[in-house]
Structures are given as structure tokens and as C-alpha cells.
Structure 1
Amino acid sequence: MRLSQRALTAAVAVSALALSVTGCSGDSSSDGASTVHFGYISDYNGASLLAIADKQGLWKDQGLKAEYSTFTNGPLQIQALGSGNLDYGYIGPGALWLPASGKAKIIAINTLGRADRVIAQPGITSVKGLKGKKVGVPEGTSGAMVLDLALKKAGMSEKDIEKVPMDPSTVVSAFAAGQIDGAGLWYPLIDNIKAKKPELEEVASTEDFKDRAFPNAFVSPAKSDAKQDAKVVKVLQKANDWRAAHPDEAIDATASLLKIDRAKVVADAANVEALSTADLVARTGDGTVDGWLDGLGEFFVNTGQLKKVPAADTYYEGDLYTKAFKK
């Protein structure tokens, strides 16, 4: 399950070249605003709050200016945070083992996601049907998470399949070309595959595990500027509540940022359970969020990504999130 250090370093080096940055945390624009460099994944979860923050001028309200860079997955953003090429990023539940292992901090929970699937070529109608077959998966991601959960539920393990580690875009092309028999992946990327393989089978889904929560989150480096973090969290909270109050406009803003058809964003948003900021603050206070993170921690211990379940408050800045809401 763990993304190899060599592969991760090489991949993030490519992503780093795409970042239009000359430095991080403390850069100032011509109008005196501090510039923050923010990574995201090109889907509704990863992009909607950033699109809204731009549209509503929320960065300017906090004396900030944001520059965005697209990444294909969460682990690459964690690596970029650690190397100083990024100030903030967005990760799905499958990458939460990285902040849990001390490589970053969670500054805000975004939504609860249900976009991950195990898919198979037409004619393979169950997870057991993937036994002995090639299954592509981006390691260290939520695609890998749903694959592991599905295998366990079917009484199988990774030893029962031929797992092929791939980056997300390669999974899409390999599945469409019939080079792999199955994949652990997520929407909207699965829609890209369906355009060429409309009869693919969805043999497992995060919807099959309703006893678990799959939060996705915004992250900062393990050591960061607390005052700047508070401003960024305030922006995310205001954008979050604007998204809840204006769902159609939020979809429009996201489609505009991603430069994709609105219908695709509508379909993607259907896989999301959004929570108000007040609700997230309440669930932080009563320990619910810690419980979500502890549950994922236990999963990561079982997969070998963590040696033990760390206390959630060692990597989730719940106090920061709560204080920002009260200001």
C-alpha cells in the first residue's frame, strides 16, 4: 500500500516544475497581500472551496492572495508540502495516513466522500472475479483503500490479485485499453473510463461500508505559520458555508475553475456529503471527527501504513478550526 519513496520523489519533482512559485509562506504580492500556494485535485471535493474563495473575494478579505496548482493525488501534495513547494493542499481519505504519521497537519475537514469504487472489465461481476487478475491502483490513495476494504470483505487479500501500482491517469488509460482487468479508483476519473468502456462493472464502492466515515481534508506542513493557518481556515470555513447555501452556484464556480462541463461537476458532487462549518465544529468538539480519524488509523495499521493509531489531536488542528469559527 505504501507509495515508494523513489516513485513519490520522482513524481513530485515533475509536479513541482509545474508550480508557478518562487517561494512559499510569506511571499507578498504587489498589493501587500501574502501569497499562499495551494494544491488541489481536479474534482468537486478538491476544487470547490478554492473556486468559491476566488469568486467571493475571500482571500483578499484575509489579506491573502492564493496561487493554485493541480495534483493528481494527495501523497504528491504531502511531498510538496514537505519540500517547501506548497503551503497548503487537499487530500482524500486514503492519504490521511501521511498526516497521521507526522508528515503534515490537518487544518480543516472538507466533506465526507463516497466517490471511490473498485471497477472491473465487462463480464467480471464481483470482487472475487478479480482473483489472479491485474488490478491497477494509485498506491496510498482512497482508490487503494476501497480496494483493500473490498478484498477483505470478499475474504481475499492483495495476494489474491496481481496489483499494479499506477498513477491515476495511467489507471484510466490502462483500463480503457484493456491492459488491466480491474482498478481501485474514484469519480470523476471513472467517468473518463466510462466514455470508452460504458459497460464496465462497479464491483465495490465506499457506499458498501456505511459503518465507516471517509473524510477528506485540507492540510498544511507539519510545522507552519499558525497565524496564516488561522486566516486560511477562516477562508475555507466561509467558502464551505457559501457552498452549502448556494449549491448550484458552487457547481458553476467549480466548473469554471476546472474548465470542464457543468454536468460532470453535478455528477461528481452527488458523491459528496457536505457538512456546515457549525456542524464540523460541533463534531470536532464532541469527538466525532477524532473517531473518524481513529477509524482510518486502525485501517492504516492493518495495511501496514502505520505502526500504531496516533491520537487524532496530534495531527488534526481541531482547536484552530474551532477558534477560527468563533472569530
Structure 2
Amino acid sequence: VLRGRIEAALPERLGAIAQLAVTFRAQVKALIGDPSRRRAFFRNLVDGPAGRLALAGDEVGARRVALGELDAARRHLAPEGIAHIVGAGPGDPDLLTLRAAQLLQEADAILHDDLVPAAVLPRARRDAELVPVGKRKGQTGWTQAEIDADLVRRVRAGQTVVRLKAGDPFVFGRGGEEIDALRAAGLAYMIVPGITAALGCAAAAGIPLTHRRIASSVTFLSGHSAGGAPGGNTTVIYMGATEAASVRDRLLGAGADPTTPVAIVENGTRPDQRVSTGRLGDLARLAAVHSRGGSAGPSLIIVGDVAAYAAVETPPLAKVS
């Protein structure tokens, strides 16, 4: 039992980090003469942004970041850190993902919302800085701009930061705004999804959100929109890639704009993930081209302006500017 728990706590792709270290061993020895600084470089390689990207399967991104860190070490510059935008789940701390639990043990600082379950925070590293940045209706708290600025400041200073949000960071969690800030600053980040409140609460209440006989779709709505502006809509279609023409026709018939961005995500979160992007009016052709590019794994279609965020060249759970 103990062995099983230890194995479960270890990242699955540790070998990728070891291979990354081997790749850079000769260069580090040639460029960094001081043994203590060499050790510091490899510690950061394992625990820092490059190691995180290697664990996520983004070997190209990991090498790119490691090269930047090697150059910084050679010039005696402090390496930049990384931000992890993490979903804490709907409430029960046992529903925290394994990846999220691992990152809580690695973070220098955890910027957490008020809605994050109190039982989750003790799972953080003992010396991690816990920073409450929550916003509650009718109460004074951190503005989103202040959160973005603090996140950028900490990553620039070399910290490994977990931005911990209740539920899932990309479902009414304003995770997209924080990604915008990190991208604009040219900083490394990763996304760790969580069980969103709608799924967790429905399951806890014994409510199937879809049912073959009575419910074939689910809509997530916010009770308010940013600044009073009308909110856009995102539609996610499960098992729709083989029916792309029909999906397109139904959405266009309902009044959708044919220039609306779309993304087909196949084998999402897996090592063989593939993403294709285009426009709604061209969805049938996009799906046909996508199907010729590889295995016919489980796919879903995301339709809406947010689909323009899709990362095609690097895994969406690991992005480095």
C-alpha cells in the first residue's frame, strides 16, 4: 500500500526530466565553472519551468526554456519562475487532482481565492507563502488588475507560483485574463484543470447533467457579465467531429456568425493530443482535414470567440512565450 501511494505521488514523466538534464550536462559543465552554481542550475532545471514543461510533454518548450536559463546562469542572472493556474475543484479536498496536489507541494507562493476549500490549503508546502486574493460581492478585496500584477511580479522574481481557484480556472474563473497578463509579460505558465462546480455539485446531488432520454445538452451561464456588457457564448459539442457538417448547419441556422472561431480538440490532455482551429463556416472541411492527420481519438468541438485562444503548436496545458 505504501509503495503504491509513493508511486502515485510521483509524476509520471520523471524520465523526461532526467533526459533533459542529460542533454544539457556537457553544456553546463563547459559554460558554468563553479560547481555550486552548476548544482543550482540543475535544481532549477528539475523544479522550475523547464522541468514542468518536460513533465507536461512539451519537450521543445522545455529545451527552449532550459537554454534561456543556461544563458542566464552563464551571465549570473536570476532565472524567471513559472505560474501554475490551478483548479481546486468544487469543495471536497479529496477531489483535488493529483497534479494540483503535487504543485501545492512545489510552490513558493499560493495566491488563492476565498472560495478555495479551507481543507485544501494545509496540503501546501510548509514554507509556502499563502496569499488570499479573493473577491467577494459587496466586500473590498483585490482587483483583477492587482492580482495580475502580483502574479507577474512574482514570476519575474523567479518564484514558482500557484494561482489557486475554486472549481476550474477556465469556467467563470477569470483564468483567461491572468493568462493574458502572463503572455503579455512573456512569462511561462501552465494550466491545471479542476472539477468545475457545475459537475461537482450535480454529482453530489445525484443529478445527471445529461440523460439519454431527457437531456442532450448542458449550458453554463453566469448570473452577471463583466461591466454590464453582453456576454459572449461558448458551445462545446461532444462526439461532434464526425457530424461536423450537421453541427455547422444547426449553429448557422440558429443565427451563429460563420466567422466564429472553432477548435477541434482530439485526445485532450493526453500525450497524443491534437488541436485544429478554424471558423464555423468552414467546420466540415476543417474536421475532414483533421481526421486525415492522425488517429481517430475522442474529440470535441469548441465554438466561440474563446476558441481563438487554442494552442496548436504546443500543448494547451503548457505554454511559454
Shorter-chain TM-score bucket reads under 0.3
Which is helix-richer, 1 or 2?
Answer: 1
Structure 2 length as normaliser, TM-score? Answer: 0.26
Structure showing greater Rg: 2
Which is strand-richer, 1 or 2?
Answer: 1
Structure 1 length as normaliser, TM-score? Answer: 0.25
